[in-house]
Amino acid sequence: MSYSSFIPPQRTLMGPGPSDVSARVLSALARPTIGHLDPQFITMMDEVKGLLQYAFQTQNEYTIALSAPGSAGMEACFVNLVSAEDKVVVCRNGVFGARMIENVQRIGAELVVVDGEWGRAVDPQQLEDALKQHSDATVVAFVHAETSTGAKSDAKTLCQIAQQYDCLTIVDAVTSLGGIELKVDEWGIDAIYSGSQKCLSCVPGISPISFSDKAIDKLKARNVPVQSWFLDQSLVMGYWSGDGKRAYHHTAPVNSLYALHESLVMLHQEGLENSWRRHQRMHDLLATGLEALDLHFIVPAAERLPQLNAVTIPEQFDDAKIRSYLLNEFNLEIGAGLGQFAGKAWRIGLMGYAARKENVALCLTALQEAMQNT
């Protein structure tokens, strides 16, 4: 067997993530590796913390980049803040709410599921009804931006309700961070996780997370150790926090953190609100074009994520053929449907660096040609 270097094609990434990564971020990624305890690396880590606090709009001291993808970020929130004694209300309106349920089950906590329609926001009234019925619930978890459907939930209202019932909140912001309004402190979110490869337009593999002081207190008061050693934030804390000396826990993904740093510097330079506005503007352009192609959104306008556009595949088209055509003819990736929507929807991402006019134009032109020629 003989092997040679892998030279990937140059794609335009308009699926559900990874999104387009800019040359600036790729170039940061390739800078020389230094040690994970090098004083200069620790200085950079502190900047990553500050930049993530800005992106999350939080003063939470414990705001870090987890050394694994968003799914591990989700698990980190659950295994650190939930134990078998807890009763957890999970709102499920797509694949990622369902994944939260799996996390709760593997911890052995009591579970209450608030089931909503796929393609719609979580219904605050349903959450309130569940909490009235289960007044002993201790945690509420929901997905801010459901990547599987393109629906945006009203995180602010959901958190308000959770707080009225004295519950800690765990929020999935994998697809929302940097793309739509998200205010961790103002909304009272206790634990939040995201992914590097969505609206931050960094390479995949890192999960920004942030815990409120209330969450940290709960973690510190645990009677039973966190069931994951790798994700135990009471240990990871010794590496990401503290003045000067940092304790070794695991070897941080040094180069990926260079890239995350750069993508966050870019977000800071653009300004968070400007980034939110840009995602909305590009969505408006794309939406107009998609409707003109007779492609219709699954999610009602008021509940749509600008960065993840799920449209119903018209019956006359073959899902896989169209996506292959886009990939082979235009080097353009759009996303397939997931879960209930497999084969029934396309998911068109406009995330981070991919939310540009040239991408919108390419996508509309390519889709039109693909639908004519397949």
> Is residue 83 within the footprint of its own copies (CB under 8 A)?
no
> Is residue 44 within the footprint of its own copies (CB under 8 A)?
yes
With contacts defined by CB under 8 A, name the span among 85-93, 132-140, 251-259, 300-308 that binds its own copies.
251-259
Please check whether residue 178 is in contact with residue 208, taking contact to mean a CB–CB distance below 8 angstroms.
Answer: no
CA–CA dist 192, 73 (Å, integer): 8
The two tokens of residue 315 are 């019956």
Other residues' Cβ atoms within 10 Å of the Cβ of residue 297: 18
Q: Which is nearer to its own copies, 132 or 220 (CB)?
A: 220
Q: Min. distance of Cβ 115 from its own copies in angstroms?
A: 20
Q: Min. distance of Cβ 312 from its own copies in angstroms?
A: 20
Cα 277 from chain centroid (whole Å): 18
With contacts defined by CB under 8 A, name the span among 112-120, 124-132, 196-204, 279-287 that binds its own copies.
196-204
Max CA pair span of the chain: 64
Q: Min. distance of Cβ 209 from its own copies in angstroms?
A: 13
Residues between 133 and 172 that touch its own copies (CB under 8 A)? none
> Is residue 273 within the footprint of its own copies (CB under 8 A)?
no
Residues between 99 and 118 that touch its own copies (CB under 8 A)? 99, 102-103, 105-107
110-115/139-143 β-pairing: unpaired
Other residues' Cβ atoms within 10 Å of the Cβ of residue 53: 17
Please check whether residue 56 is in contact with residue 81, taking contact to mean a CB–CB distance below 8 angstroms.
Answer: no
Q: Min. distance of Cβ 317 from its own copies in angstroms?
A: 20
Tell which phi-psi region holds residue 108, choosing left (phi > 0), alpha (psi between -120 and 50) or beta.
left
Residues between 333 and 362 that touch its own copies (CB under 8 A)? 333, 338
CA–CA dist 115, 126 (Å, integer): 8
| Angle, alpha carbons 256-259-261 (nearest 5°) | 110
Binding mask 284-313 for its own copies (x = CB under 8 A): ------------------------------
Please check whether residue 193 is in contact with residue 218, taking contact to mean a CB–CB distance below 8 angstroms.
Answer: no
- Looking at 120, 268, 281, 356, which residue binds its own copies (CB under 8 A)? 268
Please check whether residue 150 is in contact with residue 310, taking contact to mean a CB–CB distance below 8 angstroms.
Answer: yes
HSE-CB for 300 with a 13 A CA cutoff:
8
Size of the site for its own copies (CB under 8 A): 82
Could you tell me which residues come within 8 angstroms of residue 226 by beta carbon, excluding any fewer than 6 positions away? 79, 80, 219, 232, 233, 234
With contacts defined by CB under 8 A, name the span among 154-162, 180-188, 255-263, 271-279 that binds its own copies.
255-263
Q: Min. distance of Cβ 344 from its own copies in angstroms?
A: 16
Q: Which is nearer to its own copies, 17 or 97 (CB)?
A: 17
Tell which phi-psi region holds residue 333, choosing left (phi > 0), alpha (psi between -120 and 50) or beta.
beta
- Looking at 57, 71, 157, 374, which residue binds its own copies (CB under 8 A)? 71
CA–CA dist 125, 362 (Å, integer): 41
Q: Which is nearer to its own copies, 75 or 303 (CB)?
A: 75
The two tokens of residue 22 are 């800019």
Q: Min. distance of Cβ 208 from its own copies in angstroms?
A: 14
With contacts defined by CB under 8 A, name the span among 40-48, 110-118, 210-218, 286-294 that binds its own copies.
40-48
Q: Min. distance of Cβ 334 from its own copies in angstroms?
A: 10
- Looking at 254, 311, 322, 364, which residue binds its own copies (CB under 8 A)? 254
Tell which phi-psi region holds residue 184, choosing left (phi > 0), alpha (psi between -120 and 50) or beta.
alpha
- Looking at 3, 273, 316, 372, which residue binds its own copies (CB under 8 A)? 3
> Is residue 216 within the footprint of its own copies (CB under 8 A)?
no
Q: Which is nearer to its own copies, 7 or 302 (CB)?
A: 7
Q: Which is nearer to its own copies, 52 or 89 (CB)?
A: 52
